[in-house]
A and B are shown apart, each in its own frame.
Chain A
Amino acid sequence: MGEFVLDGWTLFWFAVPMPLLVVWAVITFFTD
């Protein structure tokens, strides 16, 4: 690791919403 890292909000938007949508698709696959 160097001195430059993603700031908190950029990291959040990069790492959370898209995988979360896949989780939603997995859940509805089993619940529909």
Chain B
Amino acid sequence: MNPTLITFIGYLAVMITIGIITYRMTHTLSDYVLGGRKLNSWVTAFSASASDFSGWLLIGLPGAAYAAGLGQWSLWIAVGLAVGAMINWQYVAKRLRIYTEYTNDSITLPQFFENRFRDNSHLLRVISALFILAFFLFYTASGLVAGAKLFQGTFEVDYHLALVIGAIIIVAYTFLGGFLAVSYTDFIQGALMSAALLFTSIYGLIQIGGFGELFNQLGSINTSLIDAFAGTSYDEPNGVLWESAGAIGAVGIISALAWGLGYFGQPHILARFMAIRSHKEVRKARLISVSLGLVIPLYGALIIGMLGIVTFDQPLADSEQVFIQLVQVVYNPWVAGFLLAAVLAAIMSTVDSQLLVSSSALSEDFYRRYLRKEASDKELVWVGRISVLVIAIIALTIAWNETSSVLDLVSYAWAGFGATFGPAILFSLFWRKTTRNGVLAGIIVGGVTIFLWPLTGSELYEMVPGFILSSIAIVVFSLVGKGPTKEMQDEYDKVAGV
């Protein structure tokens, strides 16, 4: 037993013990989501940023910075995300929160659309739930890949074995009532991750002699690593180590900045806006979320990726291992074990809450609504558990490919939600002439574009065409049909404070 393993297992044992003690406190999804209505701004702030893309911040983005320095996409993605997050908090959060007060206290996205447009046919709700289910599969798969990479990098086990062990642990405690999804542990893990990224990057910078020396060493490997407009190729197994790949051009920059558009449509982040205690808490949550929850971790992730390039003697076979390996080089083994366990717990709690949201879409929005309207609560709990299992197995097959990258999987799911729900949310909140048919068309056009775009072979991030086509569909279908009822327009005016 080495110290890393001891602290790793110790941390998880403590988390599981806390979980079993508080097991009776959260039983159902509505407990979990509604528990959110009592959340204060600190908890909301972290769960809407760091906790919600733990695997991406700790595995995906550092990997991109390791493979290409500040070039290629990594810096532009960080800038795009920070801008998108701030605009989302500044303009969408408060209005969405006020709107939910007028629309029967909606707590999920499909519910909000149904209530906002008085959709008695439930079509809007079912179609949204269907897309949420489809794209969450890729999110869940990215979490499984992140967990597997952590096991693989810490204990040197085979990728597929690591993947299966991780998936079994996650499903097991989702069955235990999803206790790790309790928002307070979400907050602690988000804060811990943010701190780990901050301290590791500062410590590494001090060791190396500051930014100037870091950029000097990177430049001596290849100047494309310190040029935001240059591309770099990295593929260690095939012997390609940081070779220049030409300018990334407008398509590369627009694609990376377009990550920021994704924020407007992420169901799990918007759910936090709907669940904040009161709209007066928004300004405080916004400040915490954008600074401690996002900008600091983004800088940390970029710097850690770049430190990895100049730290390791042996280039990594998988660039996404950079944070996991750096932690083991930088810290003493006891601290490393604690940090790696915290990372695993954060990744698991992210996957676990995604499984809960997906399985509720299946059990509540489909099963209860269409198959068996008279289903008992006990029956629904079992349907929920079976759907967790089914979703986990599908996500496992998506993640099975050994060269899976957290960045690619997240990028697809992020674009999926951004294009499907982003325009729908923005038009619902800011255009009084929006109708149910408009939003329905926008959701379908956005989602289908994301599915089909890869077939074009274009280098452009699918978010861009998806978002644009979805917006056009909303405007066209809202204008050609019957306009919104007077009741809906009055409600809109009340919310907009006209």
Contacts and interface: CB of A to CB of B under 8 A. Distances in A.
Interface in B271-294: 282-284, 286-287, 290-291
Contacts of A1: 212-213, 216
A9 B292 CA distance: 26
Given A4-B223, A6-B226, A19 B295 contact: yes
Nearest to B284: A29
Interface string A1-32: 11111110110011001110110111011001
A18 B79 contact: yes
A13 B70 CA distance: 10
B298 interface: yes
From DSSP, what is the main secondary structure of chain B's interface residues? helix
B295 A2 contact: no
Contacts of A28: 90, 283, 286-287
A13 B295 contact: no
A2 B223 CA distance: 13
A26 B291 CA distance: 9
Contacts of B216: 1-5
A4 B287 CA distance: 35
A4 B215 CA distance: 7
B82 A21 contact: yes
B86 interface: yes
A18 B301 CA distance: 14
B306 to A, nearest CB: 11
A6 B76 CA distance: 15
Contacts of A9: 228-229
Contact of B215 (A5, A13, A18, A21): A5
B10 interface: no
Interface of A: 1-7, 9-10, 13-14, 17-19, 21-22, 24-26, 28-29, 32
14 contacts: A4-B219, A5-B219, A10-B228, A13-B79, A13-B228, A14-B70, A18-B295, A21-B83, A21-B86, A21-B295, A25-B287, A25-B291, A26-B287, A32-B283
